[in-house]
Structure 1
Amino acid sequence: MSARTVIAHALRVYYAEDRDPSGLVETLLAQYDAERDEARGKSSPAGADATPSFFQPGHLYALNIWRFHCAAVAPHPDTGEPQAIGWIRISDGSWTTYAYRAAEWGEDWTDITPTTRKDGRS
């Protein structure tokens, strides 16, 4: 079940149609879709073929000895800043959860998704 589906259901339960005459639920869902697409880099005129400006869900990245598998991108609840949430392989070879801020994207991460195995090794 996607995050959008959960959010849509929760909003519709909370704002029953008789209490939502101005269409707040649909407005919030449209805003969520726009922010999600922007975080994924799909809102640019070039679309999905454009160079991403941040981590992309489902992709595996390399930086020196580090590997980061991005599972999701979501806005921070307080700041709204995009956060890449996923798994990082640490020095002993094990994986642990981690979140990167948009400011950390500029660190020469390389998308290695097509050339790696599930465990992040080449």
Structure 2
Amino acid sequence: MSFFDFFFPQVAQASHLRSIAETQRLESMHAAQQRFREERERRWDAAKDRSLEQQVVELQRDLGQAGLVIEALIQLLEEKGSLKREEIALRAATVDAADGVADGRITERSRTFLPNRKWDEAK
């Protein structure tokens, strides 16, 4: 206890109460900021998950549409007698093996398929 506190206890008590109030205000502000950061992160994660879910939905739709077009083309080629499914299967196996990995798809190492190629240009 200081000399000042001894002679002016009410002023000392008021000062001490202000100090406690300021400490509580700072702690409350820190807790509010922490809650804000946690809520922002939770919302960001939720939005990111929705975005990924939306991308999956779009990819599924695109894949379904591509499969539909491919099947329609194969049926047209069969009906016209231009090509048989067995010939397509053999060619697919040849193209698949051309990239060095027979995995049922075109891999990144393949130079056969160029996704950004303009189809009216030659290979």
- Would you call these one fold, judging by a TM-score over 0.5? no
Asked which structure has the greater RCO (Cα within 8 Å, sep 6+), the reply is 1
Query: Which structure features the higher share of helix residues?
Result: 2
User: TM-score, normalised to structure 1's length?
Assistant: 0.29
